[in-house]
Structure 1
Amino acid sequence: MSKKQKNSKKPNKKKFTVEENESIDACLERIKQEGYQPVRRVEEPIFIEENGEKFPYGRNIIFDAKIAKHEH
């Protein structure tokens, strides 16, 4: 492990969730501003239960991201 990695306070990987009323582009910009780059997109369904039956209600979009490599 190099000194640069030991002194780094940021985790190597982080998950970002697209917030309610946030566009995917806005989330991707937030990821970039924090110094990460997305490597995987996951969509999780959200269900609600009415009268004992489950119905699709929406979805969560989650990006797995890793620290961006800076070009010098």
Structure 2
Amino acid sequence: MNKKKLLFELQENESIEECLNRMKQQGYTPVKRTEKPIFQEVKNAKGTNYEPVGRQIVFEARLIE
């Protein structure tokens, strides 16, 4: 029994198209895309800074009926 909604995270070294194809193979269609920045802590003499180093892309998908 499949869940009605699932979250699919874009894997490292995977294109968005490959992720969408993976969803389709499992019987899901995307309904929402969320991007979150990934930060790295950088400490220096003045204190701690946070610099963006990447992003996390997550698709919310619904079961195709």
Tell me the TM-score normalised to structure 1 length. 0.82
**Residue number in structure 1 paired with 2:29:** 37
Q: Structure 1 stretches (4+) deviating beyond 2 angstroms?
A: none
Alpha-carbon RMSD across the aligned residues, in angstroms, is 0.6
Equivalent residue number for residue 17 of structure 1: 9
Structure with larger RCO (C-alpha < 8 A, sep 6+): 2
Alignment partners' CA distance in 2, 1:68 and 1:54: 40
> Higher strand proportion, which one?
2
Flag structure 2 segments of 5+ consecutive residues without an equivalent. none
Q: Percent identity?
A: 46
- Deviations 1:9-54, CA, capped at 9 Å, x for gaps: 1110000000000000000000000000000000010000010210
Aligned pair count?
A: 61
SS in 2 for 1:22: coil
